[in-house]
């Protein structure tokens, strides 16, 4: 298992390097110039030149790349051209916030999605199943932006139950986590349902049922565990997506996460921050996937790593 983990991490390194190269090139090929952005409508050429020089943007692209990679090897991601802050400091501040939000959202999704999917599978083709399917469809198709704003207007402005925006207490997390988790909840519920149905049709389940195992224990002990493998896969992928794709929720709820940092930096052509944020997101995505693969073995002992 240790060897497997190590091998997976080694395999991930070229992927991460690829991400670095692509992002480095992409931000620079996009039209727009960080120096012009900084100087704004008020810019004169001399000021722009000075700003370029200040951030080393007057040097050639290969030269900039070499500097970037050699600094990266020392754990230095450079300074933001917009705020002059160390990129590593920015990420250390923003990434945990995103992690907190994504964890909240995936917990919401698992806590609601799995029971709902099971219920739907057990009560197959009844009104319960139809209702769960309908709500799930609604959840997937609802724009995050719209759902979040409605939640604010109803639960915060009308009822005053939760704060409108910002981060801090547990109450601050509730609405953003639900908003971000809605579509994942729906996907996990659908996945659980179909996976559960498949398992319930298996021979061993039929055998168990024939020898008189109680329905409750049958579902919990025999069916669920096997049905969960694909759910874990989807859950992991969803979690990775939530880490990278929380920008809309972060914007609606003023959540200071890495998604908003990334979008703001792209708009300002803040190259060092864009590079750093994408790097962190890519690494966390790879780690989550690795974790999912390791969890398989825990759920299903037949899966071996060698």
Partner 1 sequence: MKRLARIGFVLLAALTLTAWASAQNLVIAQGTDAVTLDAHDVTDSPTASIVSHMYETLFELMPDGSIEPHLAESYEVSDDSTVWTINLREGVTFHDGTPMTAEVVKGSMDRFLDPDNAFTFRFLLDRIDEVVVTGPLQIELRLATPFAPLLAHLTHNTTAIVLPSAVEEYGEAFGENPVGTGPFQLENWDRGSRIDMVTYENYWGDVPAIDGVSFLAVPENTTRMALVESGEAHVAVRVPPQDIARLNAAPDITVENVSSLRTIYMYFNHTLEPFDDVRVRQAFNYAVDKQEIAEFVLGGAVRPSDAAIAPGIFGYTDVGEYEYDPERARELLAEAGFEDGLSTTLYSPSGRYLQDIQITEAIQSQLAEVGIDATIETLEWSAYLDKTREPAGENDVPVALLGWGTVTGDADYGLYALFHTSQHVPDGSNRAFYSNPVVDDLLDEARVTPDPSVRESLYADALQIVRDDAPWLFLHSETQLVAVNDAVEGLVIHPTERVLAWNVTVSE
Write down the least CB distance from residue 254 to partner 1, Å. Answer: 5
Choosing from 40, 62, 75, 212, the residue that interacts with partner 1 (CB under 8 A) is 40
Residue 126 Cα distances to 121, 122, 134, 155, 260, angstroms: 10, 9, 12, 32, 43
254 interacts with partner 1 by CB under 8 A: yes
26 interacts with partner 1 by CB under 8 A: no
251 interacts with partner 1 by CB under 8 A: yes
Write down the least CB distance from residue 156 to partner 1, Å. Answer: 6
184 interacts with partner 1 by CB under 8 A: no
162-167 long-range contacts (CB < 8 A, ≥24 apart) are 165/252, 165/253, 165/254, 165/255, 166/253, 166/254, 166/255, 167/97, 167/100, 167/254, 167/255, 167/256
Q: How many residues bind partner 1 (CB under 8 A)?
A: 52
Alpha-helical runs (H) found in 123-223: 127-141, 144-151, 170-200, 203-210, 215-217
Q: Which is nearer to partner 1, 58 or 198 (CB)?
A: 58
Q: Which is nearer to partner 1, 18 or 166 (CB)?
A: 166
Write down the least CB distance from residue 180 to partner 1, Å. Answer: 15
38 interacts with partner 1 by CB under 8 A: yes
Write down the least CB distance from residue 126 to partner 1, Å. Answer: 39
Q: Which is nearer to partner 1, 77 or 191 (CB)?
A: 77
39 interacts with partner 1 by CB under 8 A: yes
257 interacts with partner 1 by CB under 8 A: yes
Q: Do 192 and 124 form a contact (C-beta atoms < 8 A)?
A: no
Q: Which of residues 42-101 bind partner 1 (CB under 8 A)?
A: 42-45, 47-48, 50-51, 53-54, 79, 82-85, 90, 93-94
Q: Which of residues 109-168 bind partner 1 (CB under 8 A)?
A: 149, 152-153, 156-157, 160, 163-167
Q: Which of residues 259-298 bind partner 1 (CB under 8 A)?
A: 260-261, 264, 267-269
Q: Do 105 and 177 form a contact (C-beta atoms < 8 A)?
A: yes
Q: Do 117 and 189 form a contact (C-beta atoms < 8 A)?
A: yes
Q: Do 176 and 253 form a contact (C-beta atoms < 8 A)?
A: yes
Write down the least CB distance from residue 192 to partner 1, Å. Answer: 33
b vs e for 123-145, b when ≥16 Cβ sit within 10 Å of the residue's Cβ?
Answer: eeeeeebeebbebbeebeebebe
Judged on CB neighbours under 10 Å (0-12, 13-18, 19+), 6 is: exposed
CA gap 244, 235 in Å, rounded: 14
Q: Take residue 79 and report the two structure tokens written for it.
A: 């300074």
Q: Interacting stretch for partner 1, rule CB under 8 A, among 30-38, 111-119, 125-133, 187-195?
A: 30-38
Write down the least CB distance from residue 158 to partner 1, Å. Answer: 9
Q: Do 223 and 209 form a contact (C-beta atoms < 8 A)?
A: no
DSSP SS3 for 211: coil
197 interacts with partner 1 by CB under 8 A: no
Residue 142 Cα distances to 186, 217, 249, 285, angstroms: 11, 36, 13, 25
Write down the least CB distance from residue 8 to partner 1, Å. Answer: 33
36 interacts with partner 1 by CB under 8 A: yes
Point out which residues bind partner 1 (CB under 8 A).
Answer: 30-33, 36-45, 47-48, 50-51, 53-54, 79, 82-85, 90, 93-94, 149, 152-153, 156-157, 160, 163-167, 251-257, 260-261, 264, 267-269
């Amino acid at each position: 298992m240790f060897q497997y983990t190590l091998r997976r991490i080694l395999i991930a390194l070229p992927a991460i390097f690829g991400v670095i190269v692509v992002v480095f090139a992409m931000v620079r090929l996009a039209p727009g110039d960080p120096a012009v952005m900084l100087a704004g409508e008020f810019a004169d050429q001399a000021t722009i030149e000075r700003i370029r020089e200040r951030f080393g943007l007057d040097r050639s692209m290969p030269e900039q790349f070499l500097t970037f990679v050699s600094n990266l090897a020392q754990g230095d991601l450079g300074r933001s051209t917009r705020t002059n802050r160390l990129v590593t400091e920015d990420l250390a501040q923003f990434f945990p916030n995103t992690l907190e939000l994504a964890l909240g959202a995936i917990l919401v999704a698992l806590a609601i999605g799995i029971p709902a999917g099971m219920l739907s599978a057990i009560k197959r083709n009844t009104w319960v199943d139809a209702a769960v399917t309908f709500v799930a469809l609604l959840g997937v198709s609802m724009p995050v932006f719209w759902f979040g704003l409605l939640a604010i207007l109803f639960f915060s402005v009308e009822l005053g139950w939760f704060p409108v925006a910002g981060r801090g207490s547990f109450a601050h997390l509730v609405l953003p986590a639900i908003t971000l988790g809605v579509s994942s909840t729906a996907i996990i519920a659908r996945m659980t349902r179909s996976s559960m149905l498949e398992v319930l049709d298996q021979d061993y389940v039929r055998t168990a049922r024939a020898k008189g195992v109680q329905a409750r224990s049958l579902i919990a002990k025999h069916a669920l565990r096997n049905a969960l493998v694909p759910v874990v896969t989807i859950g992991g992928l969803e979690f990775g997506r939530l880490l990278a794709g929380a920008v809309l929720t972060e914007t609606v709820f003023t959540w200071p996460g890495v998604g908003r940092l990334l979008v703001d930096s792209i708009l300002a052509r803040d190259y060092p921050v864009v590079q750093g944020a994408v790097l962190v997101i890519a690494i966390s995505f790879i780690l989550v996937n690795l974790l999912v693969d390791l969890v398989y073995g825990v759920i299903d002992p037949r899966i071996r790593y060698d």
